[in-house]
Amino acid sequence: MTSTTPASAPQSHPSPKRRRRTGRTWPAVAVAAALATAGVAATVQSSNGASAPSAPGYRQDDLRRDTEALRALGITGVQARVTTASGRDLVATAGVAEVGTKRPVPRDGYFRIASTGKALMATVVLQLVDEGRLSLDDTVERRLPGVIAGNGNDGRKMTVRQLLRNTSGLHDDLPGFDTPQQYYQHRHDTYTAEQIVARAMRHHPDFEPGTGWGYSNTGYVVLGMIVEKVAGRPWQEEVESRILRPLGMHHTYLPGATPTLRRPHADGYQVFGSGERIDVTEQLVPDLGGYVSTTADVNRFFQGLLGGELLSGARLAEMRDTVPVPKEFEVFWPGGRYGLGLVARPLSCGGSYWSHEGGEAGYITLNGATGDGRRTVTVSLTTSFNDLGRTIRQQKAASDLVDRALCDTAGR
pLDDT of residue 335: 94
Percent of the chain with pLDDT over 90: 80
Q: Is the pLDDT of residue 223 over 50?
A: yes
Cα dihedral 145→150→156→159 (10° resolution): -90
223-248: string of b/e by CB count within 10 Å (b at 16+)? bbbbbbebbeeebbebbbebbbeebe
Packed helices 117-130 and 217-231: angle between N→C axes, nearest 10 degrees: 40
Antiparallel, parallel or unpaired: β 269-271 and 277-279: antiparallel
- Band of the pLDDT at 307, cuts 50, 70, 90? very high
pLDDT of residue 87: 81
pLDDT of residue 50: 42
pLDDT of residue 174: 84
Average pLDDT over the chain, rounded to whole?
Answer: 88
The residue with greater pLDDT, 31 or 226, is 226
pLDDT of residue 56: 61
Cα 143 to chain centroid distance, Å, stands at 25
> How far apart (Å, rounded) are the C-alpha atoms in residues 275 and 25?
21
Note the pLDDT tens digit of each residue in 258-299.
Answer: 999 999 999 999 999 999 999 999 999 987 779 999 999 999
pLDDT of residue 411: 59
> How far apart (Å, rounded) are the C-alpha atoms in residues 228 and 230?
6
Cα 154 to chain centroid distance, Å, stands at 26
pLDDT of residue 8: 28
Per-residue pLDDT, averaged over 209-225, amounts to 97
pLDDT of residue 412: 52
Q: Is the pLDDT of residue 2 over 60?
A: no
pLDDT of residue 326: 93
> How far apart (Å, rounded) are the C-alpha atoms in residues 287 and 115?
11
Task: State the burial class of residue 52 (Cβ atoms within 10 Å of its Cβ: 0-12, 13-18, 19+).
Answer: buried
Judged by DSSP in three states, 119 sits in: helix
Q: Is the pLDDT of residue 339 over 50?
A: yes
Number of neighbouring beta carbons within 10 Å of residue 357? 27
Count of positions (residues) in the chain: 412
Task: State the burial class of residue 192 (Cβ atoms within 10 Å of its Cβ: 0-12, 13-18, 19+).
Answer: middle
> From the DSSP assignment, how many helices (H) and strands (E) are in the chain?
13, 16
Q: Note if the bond before 264 is cis, omega within 30 degrees.
A: yes
Which residue intervals of 86-234 are DSSP H helices?
Answer: 117-130, 140-143, 160-165, 180-186, 193-201, 217-231
The mean-pLDDT minimum among 161-165, 215-219, 331-335, 395-399 falls in 331-335
Note the pLDDT tens digit of each residue in 229-266.
Answer: 999 999 999 999 999 999 999 999 999 999 999 999 99
Domain boundaries, the chain: 19-407
Per-residue pLDDT, averaged over 316-325, amounts to 97
Per-residue pLDDT, averaged over 78-93, amounts to 94
Q: Is the pLDDT of residue 317 over 90?
A: yes
CATH topology of domain 19-407: Beta-lactamase (3.40.710)
Which 8-state DSSP code applies to residue 93?
E
Q: Is the pLDDT of residue 331 over 90?
A: no
Q: Is the pLDDT of residue 30 over 50?
A: no
Task: State the burial class of residue 5 (Cβ atoms within 10 Å of its Cβ: 0-12, 13-18, 19+).
Answer: middle
pLDDT of residue 397: 97
